[in-house]
């Protein structure tokens, strides 16, 4: 069977067009702020359009039935190139990009959120040129990570993301930006070290850096080897997710980061961790995946409950949303641990919908912060009278976040619960306790809504202005996606099913 190839290397385009954008922005004059903004918007809009084309192309490729043919060695991928391009052939480093059911939705989400974030960043006043240059470079790293199929390439993109993120938080952030930026950078780098060691170990054990080749060889790795290398990868990815107890960089980074950066951080960067687990840990080390199932599920459970309880204690709106991410990503971990198709689909649903919902919530927090210059929950009150549209939008996404049915958050939670309960590896009690998270989430979300929007109107906010057209423009697609996926999940599931099946069959033949 010939591998399926895109008519032209679309993933390479998606990844490197923002890089051209970086150069274009750098060539512009520092003073021409408008030109810089629109250039950046253009160079993030093109990858977004291409990612829609990618979705469409992948969908039609699935329709041909070639993708998941039993004779296929390509595991549901569509590639940029028929054969990996030789890069440093002496050390077996190749250049290959490909997309499957795991990455197609993520690439689309990256395209969308990057574009939205750049539009949302139009309010940035200082050092505009550098800001957008860094932002576009960040997009290069994200797109590359989701499409790279060679470990060397994967690692490069993974590390590339750190640098723009460091500067974006460290320069345009809040009062404690330097602390937060350094913490984020060092913490992630600390994880990357484990990843590098693990990649080298794999390279010396299997003699390849081709990720698909390494997956194909997964049966040949010894049990102990699997356990160690899995653990190393897991730590690297867990810090990014972040899995409890590696989560403390997250609230700091979120609180200090500018709005758009928070959106990207929560919407995409956290998903890199779970993506890595699904792309690397599970298929390459199936025995270890089974052996570690219960510990991972427990970490997920702790994350769910602990994150929700800690969110309840927050007084800063942004920090509350940040901690809620810890809770929500716990569902992903539970799904990964369960190793059933439904649970893993649930994890992927959660990655997608958490990206959309939390991205939107950070945008909304940014909207109010831009006007009120505070995020203290207690400082507000009764805004529902003054800002009905803003209140409506916030309530919609808050409800999505608490897992209201007919919105996408519910689908993922439900699938994770049902899938994990059907798992042969995860204890059923873990699942039943995890269900408690739902009510804790409801408690802190409603409390937040009540304190900000309900009650007596605080006259201090008399001249607060309603959400504007540009801001609604950034939120509307996210709202539409939340409802669409929530009402008819098959629309996303159709992309996941084949790949997830394949993945589970690799682990449990």
Partner 1 sequence: MSWAWIIAALPLLSFVLIVFFLHRSNRVSSLFSISMVLISFVLSCIVLIQTLGDPTPKEYWIEWAVFSKAGMAGAEQPANQPGGKPDAGYEIEGSQPPGSFGQAVTPNEHGAVAGHTEGDSGHSGKHALSFPEPKRHGRPGEFVIPMGIYIDPLTAVMLMVVTIVAALVQIYSVGYMHGDPRFARYFAYLSLFTFSMLGLVLAGTYVLMFVFWELVGLTSYLLIGFWFEKKSASDAGKKAFVTTKIGDLGFLAGLVILLFAVGTASLPELNYMIFNGEIGGNMLWLVGIAGILMFAGAAGKSAQFPFHVWLPDAMEGPTPVSALIHAATMVAAGVYLTARMMGIIMVTETMMYVVASIGAFTAFLAASIGLVQNDIKRVLAYSTVSQLGYMIMALGLAGYTAGTFHLMTHAFFKALLFLAAGSVIHAVHSNDIQTMGGLNSKMKVTSITFLIASLSISGIFPLSGFWSKDEIFATAFAGGHYFFLAAAVLVAFMTAFYMFRLYFMTFTGKPRDHHAYEHAHESPRSMTVPLMILAVLSVCAGWWGIPWLTNGYSSFVYFGAVHHAEPNIPLMLLSFVVAGSGIGLAYLMYVKGAISPARMTERFRPIYTFLYNKWYFDELYMAVIVNPTYRLSEFLFTFDQLVIDGMVNGAGKLTLALSWLHEKFDTYVVDGAVNGAGYMSMFFGRNIRKTQTGQLQTYALVVFLGAVVFIFIMLI
Computed on alpha carbons and rounded to an integer, the radius of gyration of the chain in Å comes to 22
Q: CA neighbours within 13 Å on the CB side: how many for 69?
A: 15
Kindly state the DSSP code that residue 265 receives in the 8-state scheme: I
**Residue 440 Cβ vs partner 1, minimum distance, rounded to whole Å:** 8
Q: Which is nearer to partner 1, 209 or 400 (CB)?
A: 400
Q: Which is nearer to partner 1, 44 or 340 (CB)?
A: 340
- In the set 107, 160, 368, 504, which binds partner 1 (CB under 8 A)? 504
Give the distance, in angstroms, between the CA of residue 490 and the centroid of all CA atoms in the same chain: 20
Please report, as residue ranges, which positions from 429 to 448 form the binding site for partner 1 (by CB under 8 A). Answer: 431-432, 435-436, 438-440, 442-443, 446-447
Q: Please report, to the nearest 10 degrees, the dihedral formed by the alpha carbons of residues 143, 254, 354, 185 taken in order.
A: 40
Binding part of the chain for partner 1, among 57-65, 246-254, 256-264, 465-473 by CB under 8 A, reads 246-254
Q: Kindly state whether residue 87 participates in binding partner 1, applying the rule CB under 8 A.
A: no
# residues near partner 1 by CB under 8 A = 67
Q: Which is nearer to partner 1, 108 or 417 (CB)?
A: 417
Whole-angstrom CA distances from 258 to 51, 181, 440, 508 are 25, 12, 28, 44
Q: Kindly state whether residue 189 participates in binding partner 1, applying the rule CB under 8 A.
A: no
- In the set 54, 153, 229, 399, which binds partner 1 (CB under 8 A)? 399
Q: Kindly state whether residue 414 participates in binding partner 1, applying the rule CB under 8 A.
A: yes
CA angle 244, 245, 249 (to 5 degrees): 95
Q: Kindly state whether residue 335 participates in binding partner 1, applying the rule CB under 8 A.
A: no
Which residues are CB-neighbours of 216 under 8 A, at least 6 positions away? Answer: 73
Which residues are CB-neighbours of 289 under 8 A, at least 6 positions away? Answer: 230, 281, 282, 339, 507
Nearest of 431, 438, 437 to residue 404 by alpha carbon: 438
Q: Kindly state whether residue 484 participates in binding partner 1, applying the rule CB under 8 A.
A: no
- C-beta atoms surrounding 152 within 10 Å: 19
Is the separation of the CB atoms in 372 and 380 below 8 Å? yes
Q: Which is nearer to partner 1, 73 or 315 (CB)?
A: 315
Q: How far apart are the first and last CA of the chain?
A: 21
- C-beta atoms surrounding 1 within 10 Å: 10
- In the set 217, 374, 422, 427, which binds partner 1 (CB under 8 A)? 422
Q: Kindly state whether residue 488 participates in binding partner 1, applying the rule CB under 8 A.
A: yes
Q: Which is nearer to partner 1, 157 or 410 (CB)?
A: 410
Q: Kindly state whether residue 237 participates in binding partner 1, applying the rule CB under 8 A.
A: no
Q: Kindly state whether residue 121 participates in binding partner 1, applying the rule CB under 8 A.
A: no
Q: Kindly state whether residue 104 participates in binding partner 1, applying the rule CB under 8 A.
A: no
Helices (H), 9-83: 10-27, 33-63
**Residue 351 Cβ vs partner 1, minimum distance, rounded to whole Å:** 16
**Residue 457 Cβ vs partner 1, minimum distance, rounded to whole Å:** 7
* 3-class secondary-structure state, position 7: coil
The full DSSP string for 267-283 is IIIHHHHHHHIIIIIHH
Binding part of the chain for partner 1, among 130-138, 153-161, 179-187, 474-482 by CB under 8 A, reads 179-187
Q: Which is nearer to partner 1, 3 or 303 (CB)?
A: 303
Q: Kindly state whether residue 480 participates in binding partner 1, applying the rule CB under 8 A.
A: no
What is the contact mask toward partner 1 in residues 277 to 316, using x (rule: CB under 8 A)? Answer: -----------------------------x--xxxxxx--
Kindly state the DSSP code that residue 220 receives in the 8-state scheme: G
Rounded CA-CA distance 37/388 in Å is 30
Q: Kindly state whether residue 192 participates in binding partner 1, applying the rule CB under 8 A.
A: no
Q: Which is nearer to partner 1, 112 or 440 (CB)?
A: 440
Rounded CA-CA distance 448/368 in Å is 14
**Residue 199 Cβ vs partner 1, minimum distance, rounded to whole Å:** 24
Is the separation of the CB atoms in 77 and 23 below 8 Å? no
Whole-angstrom CA distances from 220 to 9, 215, 284, 408, 464 are 32, 10, 10, 39, 63
Q: Kindly state whether residue 200 participates in binding partner 1, applying the rule CB under 8 A.
A: no
**Residue 54 Cβ vs partner 1, minimum distance, rounded to whole Å:** 23
**Residue 496 Cβ vs partner 1, minimum distance, rounded to whole Å:** 9
Rounded CA-CA distance 312/377 in Å is 12
Residues that bind partner 1 (CB under 8 A): 183, 186-187, 245, 247-249, 306, 309-314, 339-342, 345, 382, 384-385, 388, 392, 399, 404-406, 410-411, 414-415, 417-419, 421-424, 431-432, 435-436, 438-440, 442-443, 446-447, 450, 453-457, 488-490, 493, 497, 500-501, 504-505, 507-508
């Amino acid at each position: 069977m010939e591998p399926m190839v895109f008519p032209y290397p679309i993933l390479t385009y998606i990844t490197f067009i923002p890089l051209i954008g970086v150069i274009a922005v750098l060539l512009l004059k520092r003073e021409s702020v408008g030109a810089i903004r629109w250039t950046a918007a253009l160079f993030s809009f093109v990858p977004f359009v291409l990612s829609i084309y990618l979705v469409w192309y992948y969908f039609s490729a699935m329709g041909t039935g070639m993708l998941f043919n039993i004779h296929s060695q390509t595991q549901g991928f569509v590639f940029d190139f028929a054969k990996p391009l030789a890069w440093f052939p002496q050390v077996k480093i190749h250049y290959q990009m490909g997309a499957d059911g795991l990455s197609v939705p993520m690439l689309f989400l990256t395209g969308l959120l990057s574009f939205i974030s750049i539009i949302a960043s139009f309010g940035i006043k200082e050092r505009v040129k550098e800001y957008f240059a860094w932002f576009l470079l960040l997009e290069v790293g994200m797109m590359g990570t989701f499409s790279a199929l060679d470990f060397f390439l994967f690692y490069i993109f993974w590390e590339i993301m750190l640098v723009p993120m460091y500067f974006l938080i460290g320069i345009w952030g809040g009062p404690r930006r330097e602390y937060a930026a350094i913490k984020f950078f060092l913490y992630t780098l600390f994880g990357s070290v484990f990843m590098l060691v693990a990649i080298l170990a794999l390279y010396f054990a299997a003699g390849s850096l081709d990720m698909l080749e390494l997956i194909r060889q997964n049966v040949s790795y010894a049990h102990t080897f699997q356990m160690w290398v899995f653990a190393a990868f897991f730590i690297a990815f867990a810090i990014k997710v972040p899995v409890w107890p590696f989560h403390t960089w997250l609230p700091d980074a979120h609180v200090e980061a500018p709005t758009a950066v928070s959106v990207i951080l929560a919407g995409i960067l956290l998903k890199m961790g779970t993506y890595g687990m699904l792309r690397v840990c599970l298929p390459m080390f199936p025995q270890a995946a089974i052996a570690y199932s219960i510990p991972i599920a427990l970490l997920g459970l702790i994350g769910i409950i602990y994150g929700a309880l800690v969110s309840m204690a927050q007084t800063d709106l942004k920090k509350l949303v940040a901690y809620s991410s810890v809770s929500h990503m716990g569902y992903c971990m539970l799904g990964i641990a369960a190793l059933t198709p439904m649970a893993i689909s649930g994890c992927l649903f959660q990655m997608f919908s958490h990206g959309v919902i939390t991205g939107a919530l950070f945008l909304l927090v940014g909207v109010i912060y831009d006007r009120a210059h505070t995020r203290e929950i207690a400082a507000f009150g009764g805004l529902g009278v003054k800002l009905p549209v803003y209140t409506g939008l916030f309530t919609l996404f808050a409800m999505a976040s608490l897992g209201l049915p007919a919105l996408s958050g519910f689908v993922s939670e439900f699938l994770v619960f049902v899938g994990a309960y059907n798992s042969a590896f995860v204890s059923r009690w873990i699942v039943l306790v995890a269900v408690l998270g739902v009510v804790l989430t409801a408690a802190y979300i409603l409390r937040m809504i009540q304190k900000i929007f309900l009650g007596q109107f605080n006259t201090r906010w008399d001249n607060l202005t309603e959400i504007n057209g540009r801001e609604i423009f950034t939120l509307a697609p996210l709202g539409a996606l939340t409802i669409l996926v929530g009402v008819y999940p098959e629309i996303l599931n159709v992309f996941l099913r084949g790949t997830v099946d394949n993945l589970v069959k690799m682990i449990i033949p």
